[in-house]
Each structure stands twice: as structure tokens, then as C-alpha cells.
Structure 1
Amino acid sequence: MTPNPSGIHITGILPARWGSSRFPGKPLHVIAGKPLIQHVWERCRQCSRLDDLLVATDDDRILAAAEGFGARAVMTSPDHPTGTDRLAEAVAGLPDATHIVNIQGDEPLIDPALVDELAATMAGDPELDMATAANPLDPADPAVADPNVVKVVISLSGRALYFSRSPLPYFRNPVDGLAVLRHKGIYAYRRSFLERFVTWPPSPLERAESLEQLRALENGASIKVLPTDDTSPGVDTPEQADHIERLLSSATH
């Protein structure tokens, strides 16, 4: 472990809920011999900037499985409307945590270096409320028009200006070197900001786009967006789980 600056304690949390309209029980779906959530946890165990790592779940089966493979796990309410609310409940029981990295429990190929970079960014900038990441897309990529792919535009200083499910930006004119940025669903928070965030009601733009991060922007938050080449896919369906299994199998042969 690389010691964090004095007074800073960074905790990685993997929210994992049982219910999913497209994929019930997803965290325990077995991929290459291990539950999905175990793959993510093992990747995060390679991080050097996390002082603590735990799974936050709403289901006894996930709790038991996580503890079975050696993870620290906590139970949270099944009634949370969002993963961020689940995160905040878990953080309430972690008095030492000053910063939190919310790592999606369905990204079994997440790059540990990206998690570390987010943690280091938050630890190094007292002005930041949040940090996240995005990878470039060719403006001609079909994903640009896919509403399931969230796009972000950033300021010249690297702060988020807006997130959208629509193509963003709209290229009325071609601009050399200006890529479309696909937002990755990983977030780092300052604890005090996270505690405020979950007290705010869903904001108008958040409700329009179904994107929580817009609530932060609408309330004046500063969100640093880190560029990354990490294009690791998430798992939203059984078909995507099969794709990940093929990727993992090919990597071990």
C-alpha cells in the first residue's frame, strides 16, 4: 500500500444489489468459475491507493458470498433508490473514511490504475467535490447515438460541464482532435460532499436524463473528469456476462 497523505483515508466501495430488471442476482452470476462481484473485488485488491475496500449489499446471499471469498461486506437497506444512497449508508458506518471511490460491482475488468488515479486526484485537490473518468470515442462511432452510452463534455481545465444520453457535443462544425467522451460509471467523492449530495432532491435535469451526476452539477459541484483508455465493458445482461467469460478465458490461454 502507498500511504495516503496524513488525515486522508480512502475507501473503495462496491455497491451490489440483488434486484435487477434485466439480470436478477447479477453479482453472484458465475463467470470463469467465480461470482461477478468477486472478479471486481480481486481487481480492486490490486489498487495501491485504497486504504479500505468493502462490498455494500442489500441481500444476505451476496453478503455471505462476499465474506466467503474474503471480502469485507456490509448490509444496507433494500429500499435505496440509487447506488449513491446505498454508498452513503455504508459510509455512515465508516468514521475514518474521508474520501470514497464508488466502483461499479459489474465491471470485472476495471483497471486498478484508474481507481488509484481517481483516489490520488481526490486526495491531491481539496477544491474537488467529485472525480470520474471518460474515454474517447470517434464521433462516427454508433455508440455516440446510443442513449445507453452516457457522454460528457468538459471544460479546458478538465471539469465536467454536462452529461447526456444524447450525442454530445453536436458537431455543427468538424473540430480536429475533439473526441466524444464516453462517461465511465466510476466516481470518487469527498465524504462531506457525498453526505450533502444524498440530502438533495432529484434535480430537474437528473429527472429528465435519469443521470444522478446532473444533480451534482445543478447544485454547483466541481467534478474532475480523468481521461482514460480503459474501455473495460460492464455486465448488464447474461449475454454480456458470456462475452466477459470469453475475454477472461482467452486471457488465461
Structure 2
Amino acid sequence: MTLVAILSGAGISTDSGIRDYRGPDGLWRRDPDAEKLVTYAYYMADPEIRRRAWLMRRDSAALRAEPNAAHRAVAELERTPGFAVRVITQNVDGLHQRAGIAARKVLELHGTARAVVCTACHARSSMEDALARVAAGEDDPACEVCGGILKPATVMFGERLDPVVLGQAMGIAKAAEVFVAVGSTLQVQPAASLAGVAAEHGARLVVVNAEPTPYDERADEVIREPIGTALPALLKRLG
């Protein structure tokens, strides 16, 4: 059984209509002020920031997006006899699961945009329900359990990654025989370091990304072609 780890970043979801953040047309480059909407300190301190953030979520295409050929190729490899596939994703869109990979085989380093959590009592509920309340006229919906401030169940700037999830990801990186980093700039730590950990522990490291990454020199193979065609071809060759 060959253990293949897939580290996916924003680039794998651009073909699904979800823009990346740091690319040439990324959200932070087009509107640097938008970063405040996902920064914990600003979000908690300013009701106006929260109102703008809820409107951004309401208008976002992310929750309506469908998996693309790259997501489906990963799911297909996972169903191939002789392969154990684990996905470590920096994305919060849930598209790997929607493509058919069991949730237990996907580690969401930065959480999920498909749920909300109360910052006071930590009760979780669906993003869909919260956005329905926004559509009904609540501009900053509060927790229905305790009245606390609601935030998406994502890791905002200024928050720590879940140490349990990160520990599991580190274990997978150390054990993987093939480690494919796809659609990630490999600049955001500690997620990016997983590529180096995998290489240090003997994995074949493949980087699939439009722009250079800090780990290209350590990779066994670097692919610059469009992810929607390059990743399916790579995984088919692997399988």
C-alpha cells in the first residue's frame, strides 16, 4: 500500500471559481483592506468589520462552488487499489469532501467555511443557517445559545492552528511515500514546512504550482502547467 499525501492550497480551487488570495489576481492584492475581515483582533473589536465580513460571505461563490477535475482526480486515486490517500488542505471550501473523499481522510488545517462557531461558548452550527439569518436582515447574527459573537469555523489571521490537526498532518508527512504539494505558494507556515518534512523523511516530493515556491529546489519534480490538467495527468501516471 503506497501512502500518498496531497497538500492542497488555493490554486487547486481556482477552476471551481474560487479566487486565491496571494496570486496575481488574488483577493489580498486587489483589496488589501479585505484582510481585516479575516483578522481575529479586528473582527472581534469592530462590529462594522463583522457586518462587512458577513456580507462578503453572503456574496462569496465559495459555498456554491463544485469540485473540479483536480479534486476529482484526487478522489479517483483514493479509490485506486494499492493506494492510501490522505489530503492535507489549506483550503476551507470543503471541495475535497464534495468530490467524494471521506471527511476522516481530509485534514483541514485552516478549518472550514461551511460551519460557524461561537467565540464565547464554542457552539457550532452551519454557515448556511447563519447566512439565512443575514438574508433575513440580521447584519451581525449572534450565537443562538449564549448571544456571543459568531465567526466562521476557519482559522483567522491571529489565531493558532489546531495543534491536534497539525500533529496529524505532521505524522502523515513523515509517513508518506509520495507527497504532492498542489496549488500552494508554500509560504504560509507551518503548513508549508510539511513539504520539507516529507522530503526529509524520504518521500518523493512533487510541486504543482503556477509560480515558484521556496521548496522547488528540494522537489523531485516541479510542474508549472495548469492544475486542472496537470494534476489529473500526474495522479494517473502515479496510479
Higher helix fraction (1 or 2): 2
> Normalization by structure 2: what TM-score?
0.32
